[in-house]
């Protein structure tokens, strides 16, 4: 049993997680509409060290800021972390009277429930402009040292997309995360997300295939940003024609070196720069969008960990 000191500390950490997302919601005028209260409840039910990520999706002059994810950290929590995800889905279905299509997630979980290669999964909520466009998002993460092939092949089959042999090799060798996006109107999507650190060899051979693929098929600008970032995740899905590129940065002040935003992006950046305990930031964007003089369609995200110490420059 937890002693009194541990209970107090645990409750303090939970309160900080809630404050993290509520500060975000206040800054970007997010109404606490359903199912955000259920997500906050889910955060409070997770024991142990966690990280929370908030993000803003910008679509021209429209800002979608009701987007949060939570995951346990550090250590290996799969498949226990899946319990929180299914409980969250059950509560949303019961409260809204909707049927969420979780078939792809259930199929994946049944195939790999005992896998030692999976570290954990996150739980997230992305509010759309309408309830039917809102979704529950789960990312399943794979150990850096493990061969992801069997997990990636399951995800590719569930996605149903057609990928070249060369790209398939990237997906089965370098996949770091598999995302399940489950919409409240019954639609669903699977993303397969290979990962590469900007510094070759920092994770052994992981990232070698994605790095070569980016160098061969993507623009000089993409490669320039990749080299200046901490890491790159490229998410592929049959749901969209061009992959979404997630550029990670540990120092938020590096971001203006590589991106020019519209006014909404500037507002998001200014807010994040003013926060005292952000442990990582990033920008998700497609390659065609990067050709514009200023980004108009992108996602800006940042995270905080329990008991975090701000990075230099934050």
Q: pLDDT tens digits for 157-170? A: 999 999 999 999 99
**C-alpha of 166 from chain center:** 25
Sequence-distant contacts of 162-171: CB under 8 A, at least 24 apart: 162/238, 163/236, 166/213, 167/213, 167/236, 169/209, 170/194, 170/209, 170/210, 170/213, 171/236
DSSP state of 280: E
Question: 208 and 173 in contact (C-beta within 8 Å)?
Answer: yes
DSSP secondary structure letters along 82-139: HHHHHHHHHHHHHHHT-----HHHHHHHHHHTT-TTEEEE-EEEE--SSGGG-EEEEE
Predicted pLDDT of residue 278: 86
Distance CA 301, CA 28 (A): 13
Q: Which of 54, 107, 112 is nearest to 79 (CA)?
A: 112
Predicted pLDDT of residue 311: 37
Could you state, in chain order, the average pLDDT of each consecutive group of 10 residues for the chain (314 residues)?
63 82 95 90 85 95 96 80 94 92 97 95 94 94 95 98 97 98 96 94 82 98 97 96 96 96 98 88 97 97 66 33
What tokens were used for 99?
């049927």
Return the SS3 of 268.
helix
Q: How many residues belong to the chain?
A: 314
Predicted pLDDT of residue 8: 66
- Tell me the residue ranges of DSSP E strands in 36-89: 50-59, 62-72
Predicted pLDDT of residue 312: 34
Rounded to the nearest 5°, which phi and psi values hold at 52?
-120, 135
Distance CA 187, CA 133 (A): 9
Predicted pLDDT of residue 314: 28
Q: Specify whether the backbone of 35 is left (phi greater than 0), alpha (psi in -120 to 50) or beta.
A: alpha
CB atoms within 10 A of CB 274: 10
Predicted pLDDT of residue 282: 96
Distance CA 288, CA 219 (A): 10
Predicted pLDDT of residue 100: 96
Distance CA 77, CA 70 (A): 13
């Amino acid at each position: 049993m937890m002693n009194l000191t541990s209970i107090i500390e645990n409750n303090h950490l939970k309160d900080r997680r809630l404050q993290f997302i509520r500060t975000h919601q206040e800054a970007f005028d997010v109404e606490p509409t359903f199912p955000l209260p259920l997500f906050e409840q889910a955060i409070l039910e997770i024991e142990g060290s966690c990280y929370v990520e908030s993000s803003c999706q910008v679509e021209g002059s429209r800002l979608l800021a009701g987007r949060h994810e939570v995951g346990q950290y550090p250590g290996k929590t799969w498949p226990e972390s899946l319990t929180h995800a299914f409980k969250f889905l059950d509560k949303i279905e019961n409260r809204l009277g909707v049927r969420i299509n979780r078939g792809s997630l259930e199929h994946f979980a049944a195939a790999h429930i005992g896998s030692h290669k999976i570290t954990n999964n996150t739980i997230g909520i992305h509010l759309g402009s309408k309830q039917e466009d809102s979704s529950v998002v789960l990312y399943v993460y794979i150990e850096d040292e493990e061969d992801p092939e069997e997990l990636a092949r399951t995800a590719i089959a569930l996605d149903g997309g057609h990928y070249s042999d060369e790209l398939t090799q990237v997906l089965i060798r370098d996949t770091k995360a598999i995302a399940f996006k489950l919409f409240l109107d019954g639609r669903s999507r699977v993303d397969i997300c290979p990962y590469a650190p900007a510094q070759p060899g920092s994770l052994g051979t992981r990232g070698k295939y994605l790095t070569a693929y980016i160098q061969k098929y993507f623009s000089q600008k993409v490669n320039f940003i990749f080299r200046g970032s901490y890491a790159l995740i490229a998410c592929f899905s049959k749901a969209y024609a061009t992959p979404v590129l997630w550029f990670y940065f540990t120092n938020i002040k590096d971001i203006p070196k590589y991106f020019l935003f519209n006014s909404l992006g500037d507002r998001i950046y200014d807010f994040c720069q003013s926060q005292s305990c952000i442990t990582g930031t990033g920008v998700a964007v497609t390659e065609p969008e990067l050709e514009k003089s200023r980004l108009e369609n992108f996602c800006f995200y940042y995270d905080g960990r329990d008991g975090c110490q701000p990075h230099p420059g934050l």
